[in-house]
Structure 1
Amino acid sequence: MQNGWSLIELMIVLAIIGVLAGLALPAYQDYSSRAQLARAVHEVSELKHSVEVLVNDGVVPSTSSSLGFTGSSLFEEVGSNGVSIIVDGDVVSLVATMGAGSNYAIRGVKVFLTRDSNGTWLCIFDTTASHNWKSEYLPSSCSLM
């Protein structure tokens, strides 16, 4: 009777593990990218109430820190705490760019939450600077630029 594993049995087990890991890793990376984009939309969406209060009081928001935003590990530090505010007449846009804390495939993607003059909020993604954008990353409540 033989004790232990033969070399060929160990190699077959390692090959099976390698194949399973090769299939699982891309699926995990896609899931992680989708989750990070959903988190980004949620974090920027938290500022919508503060923008509404300021706009209804006739005040133009100037920085995200004035809205109570303290920053995110996902965003580039562009503007104040990673979120920039663009004001064009009655239209206010909150813009966050996915930075080094996000997956490589979505770095450079810009998340726009835009309030039009009627008070309607739109979620728009600019993916032109993305390294490897896939349409499945887009949250269902958002559209592409």
Structure 2
Amino acid sequence: MKNMQKGFTLIELMIVVAIIAILAAIAIPAYQDYITRSQFAESQTIADGMKTPVQEFVAAKGTCPTNSEAGSAILPAASYEGKYVAKAESAGTADAQGGGCTITVTFKGTGSVSTPLAAKTAVFKAANAGGAYTWTCTSEVPNKYLPQVCRQ
């Protein structure tokens, strides 16, 4: 009677290891890009929290608020921080009726966020289109990490 083979041969095991290595080589960079994009999304969330108070301030006073301006609903920059965002500040032009107000979000340094975001900024700029504000986004972060609305 013939002996039946039990277990895997060395070649079969090497093929499985090679397949896993190829999958990991593709998956790890894609996952790192995904993590960076999700970290960037925090800047949008924080900026969204500042947009309405900025628009209300402009409607009331006709100028863009700063984070420290009296009568502004904008809190100090340190109040607008998150897990990946160091600070967010409001600024702009004296005549804000045509737009010009900006919200600048600065990411934390290396070690707190993915390397492509470390100490970089995202700028959200308002444009007044007849009382309805539209916000555009620009950033020094490479396009592949940005959401579609921020890509140039």
Shorter chain as normaliser: what TM range?
A: 0.7 to 0.9
2:17 maps to 1:47:
no
**How large is the Cα RMSD of the aligned pairs?**
2.8
Distance in 2, Cα, partners of 1:25 & 1:47:
35
Give the counterpart letter for 2:138 in structure 1: F
Distance in 2, Cα, partners of 1:53 & 1:67:
18
Q: Which runs of 5+ in 1 are unaligned?
A: none
Distance in 1, Cα, partners of 2:77 & 2:55:
10
Secondary structure of 1:95 counterpart: strand
Aligned pairs (5 A) from 1:69-88: 69-75=79-85, 77=86, 82-88=87-93
Distance in 2, Cα, partners of 1:96 & 1:62:
12
TM-score computed with the length of structure 1 as normaliser? 0.72
TM-score computed with the length of structure 2 as normaliser? 0.69
Q: 1:106 to 1:68 in 2, by over 3 A?
A: closer
CA contact (8 A) 2:139 2:150 kept: no
CA contact (8 A) 2:77 2:89 kept: no
CA contact (8 A) 1:51 1:67 kept: no
**Number of aligned residue pairs:** 134
Structure with higher Rg: it is 2
Give the counterpart letter for 1:65 in structure 2: L
Q: 1:69 to 1:56 in 2, by over 3 A?
A: farther
- Aligned to 2:31, which of 28, 31, 36? 28
